[in-house]
DNA sequence: ACTGATATTAGTACCAAGTGCTAATAACAA
DNA sequence: TTGTTATTAGCACTTGGTACTAATATCAGT
């Protein structure tokens, strides 16, 4: 009689490997009290790659993430339309690396980054800095979502070097984020 | 004559491997136009482990992080002190890649990211999301600055699943950023 | 030009953790 | 008993190495 049915063993095998991809066929054979060959047949049937490939997968994922974990430099999102000192539009595709592992919801600072860098970009000046901002995350955004962000200049006070920008982000037409940005600029109009 | 001196080759070798740990001795030999044995001697002298070990290192680092899966991994800046549902402290070193090329001033979204992720981290809950935030960039921050950010839970409304967090960032004792974060959480106290 | 040190290359045996294949045996079911 | 499925065994081969020995090459100093 079989210690366990083949099916059961394969189910546990998948689990075990998923839990710890660093386990060798020999260790698995000992664990399940079968021959190494059986483990290999099982892996084939389940199309689970060999140890080295599994490790390489984990490593290369890590590598990608490491590279991507600092992409927070230039403008976040792609600017698709801009009319300086008036309005601007950018698109940002939310990927796995932008969301919380736990719940798959985009981390706020990415949405803020897109909005903020668009607010900076719309200002027609050498120097534009965010002074103050009031923002609301209206609805969770998830991986795969395409966020369309619109910035509109709604007010200027050249005496105080201030410009007010309203930013709204939507996914599939639904508002997910709104913010008001008070920007500082060095120059006034037409200087 | 040597194509390059041994030293020079070894310097480049270290760099190359650091950049891409997935490279084999054979590829390196081709790249530097030397024999595989030379590459191996170089690796020994520099005590760089073999390909498989390198990959395993990358993979296991990744694995550790994944296992933790606490938001503490996903924080921008390094958390140096935390007392859940009460306060937290993180440090973030501003580098060249975080500032505007034009004026050397840190982009707002990096400061926001540090503050926001600290506000998320301080919440003792599986799920914590920023709902609303009011922030002020008090003083410009520059490359080389060390930003110390403190988050303090200043209020809770468990009926509405809300927690209010006040975040203050300083550089050399001077306040550079303040923000108030309204956080959403799934669970109430002691649930 | 000769000697010695350093650097490079070549070659062998061996290892881990496999793949790919064939063949034998075991277990079970009808 | 026969057929099917499952398991085990064994062998040759692969990658990307280690560990070691031995032969050359290259260069510097006298």
Candidate CATH numbers 2.60.120.650, 1.10.10.10, 3.40.30.10, 1.10.600.10; the one for domain B6-67: 1.10.10.10
As a whole number, mean pLDDT of residues B8-28 equals 91
A116 with B133: Cβ contact below 8 A: no
- Whether residue A70 has pLDDT greater than 60: no
Q: pLDDT value at position B27?
A: 92
Q: Which residue has the higher pLDDT, A62 or B98?
A: B98
Interface test with A, best of B68, B69, B107 (most A CBs within 10 A): B107
Query: Which residues of chain B make contact with A62, given a CB cutoff of 8 A?
Result: 58-59, 61-62, 65
Shortest alpha-carbon distance between residue A27 and chain B (Å) = 17
Q: What are phi and psi of A138, to 5 degrees?
A: -75, -40
Cα B6 → chain centroid: 35
As a whole number, mean pLDDT of residues B83-97 equals 83
Shortest alpha-carbon distance between residue B5 and chain A (Å) = 31
Shortest alpha-carbon distance between residue A2 and chain B (Å) = 34
B76 with A109: Cβ contact below 8 A: yes
Same fold yes or no, A6-68 and A78-185: no
Instruction: Supply B38's token pair.
Output: 């030379």
Count of beta carbons in the 10 Å neighbourhood of residue B180? 17
As a whole number, mean pLDDT of residues A18-36 equals 92
Candidate CATH numbers 3.40.50.170, 3.10.129.10, 3.40.50.10490, 3.40.630.30; the one for domain A78-185: 3.10.129.10
CA of A9: nearest nucleotide by C1' is D6
- Whether residue B71 has pLDDT greater than 60: no
Q: pLDDT value at position A91?
A: 87
How far: B39 CA to D26 C1' (Å)? 18
How far: B50 CA to C9 C1' (Å)? 20
Considering only CB atoms, A58 lies closest to which of B62, B97, B105, namely B62
As a whole number, mean pLDDT of residues B18-26 equals 91
Nucleotides of D under 7 A from a protein CB: 5-10, 15-18, 20, 26-27
Among B118, B153, B156, B116, CA closest to B132: B116
Q: pLDDT value at position A69?
A: 36
As a whole number, mean pLDDT of residues B166-181 equals 94
% of chain B surpassing 70 pLDDT: 84
Shortest alpha-carbon distance between residue B44 and chain A (Å) = 23
Task: Please check whether residue A58 touches B, CB under 8 A.
Answer: yes
CA of B37: nearest nucleotide by C1' is C9
- Whether residue B38 has pLDDT greater than 70: yes
Interface test with A, best of B135, B149, B187 (most A CBs within 10 A): B135
User: pLDDT tens for residues A138-171?
Assistant: 999 999 999 999 999 999 888 888 999 999 999 9
CA of B2: nearest nucleotide by C1' is D26
Q: pLDDT value at position A189?
A: 47
Query: With a 7 Å cutoff on the CB, does B3 touch strand D?
Result: no
The structural domains of chain A, with segments of one domain joined by +, span 6-68, 78-185
Of the listed ranges A15-24, A42-51, A149-158, A180-189, the least confidently predicted one is A180-189
Of the listed ranges A105-109, A112-116, A163-167, B67-71, the least confidently predicted one is B67-71
**Is 3.10.129.10 the CATH classification of the domain at B74-185?**
yes
Architecture in CATH of A6-68: Orthogonal Bundle (1.10)
Q: pLDDT value at position B80?
A: 62
CA of B39: nearest nucleotide by C1' is C8
- Whether residue B158 has pLDDT greater than 90: no
Among B119, B102, B94, CA closest to B170: B94
User: pLDDT tens for residues A172-191?
Assistant: 989 999 999 999 987 654 44
Residues 6-25 of A with CB under 7 A from strand D: 6, 9
CB B158 within 8 A of CB B123: no
């Amino acid at each position: 009689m079989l210690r366990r049915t083949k099916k059961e063993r394969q189910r546990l095998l998948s689990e075990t490997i998923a839990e710890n991809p660093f386990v060798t066929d020999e260790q698995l054979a000992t664990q399940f009290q079968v021959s190494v060959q059986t483990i290999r047949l099982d892996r084939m049937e389940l199309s689970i790659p060999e140890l080295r490939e599994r490790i390489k997968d984990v490593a290369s994922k890590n590598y990608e993430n490491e590279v991507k974990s600092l992409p927070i430099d230039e403008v976040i999102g792609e600017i698709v339309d801009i009319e300086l000192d008036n309005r601007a539009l950018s698109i940002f595709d939310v990927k796995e690396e932008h969301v919380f592992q736990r719940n798959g919801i985009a981390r706020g600072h990415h949405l803020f980054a897109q909005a903020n860098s668009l607010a900076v970009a719309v200002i027609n000046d050498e120097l534009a800095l965010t002074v103050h901002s009031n923002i609301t995350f209206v609805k969770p955004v998830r991986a795969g979502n395409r966020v369309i962000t619109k910035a509109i200049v709604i007010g200027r006070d050249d005496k105080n070097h201030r410009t007010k920008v309203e930013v709204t982000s939507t996914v599939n037409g639904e508002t997910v984020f709104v913010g008001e940005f008070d920007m500082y600029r060095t120059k006034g109009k037409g200087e």
